Structure 1
Amino acid sequence: MKTLGTKIAEYRKLKKMTQEELASKLNVSSQAVSKWENDLSIPDLPILIELSDIFNVSLDELIRQKEDVEVARVVEPQLRKSVDQMMLKVVIDSGDGDKVRLNLPLSLIKTGMEIGMSMPEINGKAALKGIDLEKVMKLVDQGLVGKLIEIESADGDHVEIFVE
């Protein structure tokens, strides 16, 4: 489980900011930022709101200590949703600080596959191009839902693919 301090440090580094730069934006000392990142203290609510704005994440994502990993699981045939009711969710956090969130209906993907569609290139990066949509759809047809793919590249890119 990631602590608030760990998250502040990770988000700060994703933004390629030093503790001093973050402190300056928040009008606090760099020692305050260091204490937060080492879980020796926590920021007040107004500062937490500013942090969520600076990092472009929700307050919930910033402060909750729950694991955000949704484990893939197989759903029993009688409990499965129709493909028309399901979504493919793609979460991309690039090493450059870009964030992309895609929510695609599986019915749209199925139709796209019929006309030869493949995963797009995002922001000049080909991280998604290697994803085989046919294999993803076969897994879904077998009842697999949850986090199907998680990729960490050497460039600091992070990609997750979920089916819900």
Structure 2
Amino acid sequence: MPKSISLLFTLALFSTSGEGLAQSLEAPVEALFNAMRAHDGEQLAAQFTNGALLQRAEPGGNIKSNDLSQFAGFVSQSDKHLDEKLLAVTVQQSDNLAAIWTPYVFYLDGKLSHCGVNSFQLVRTGPDWKIHYLIDNVHGGDCEQFINQFSTDG
């Protein structure tokens, strides 16, 4: 009986710590989008490492780089409601390196603006995870079909 209790405790502990890791891993991504909704550029920038890269994969194969401080400034100064919803989040992690791949839908003042995919590379910096690299794209087709393809609802 004691071995059974010990095994159950160990399994419960492992399960809990795994959930905690996933939550802490996703925390900077969630905080990024919460900061966008709150127009808090300072909090947005705090989710990234020093020297973080932001890029967009454009049609035709071009890669456009964006400056984090300019992006944070835009978010702070925007008078529009910015809301990005994530679909079908996939997380991979090994030691202090992680990747989050997720389709997204972006709403501007409550109206569907565009959709695409985000790819985040995160590193653990002490006890916390930070975003070091974010590249996204914008889906060139119908966003409603895109949402249906990647939605985890229903």
TM-score tier after normalising by the smaller chain length: under 0.3
Higher strand proportion: 2
Give the TM-score normalised by structure 2: 0.26
Larger Rg: 1
Give the TM-score normalised by structure 1: 0.25
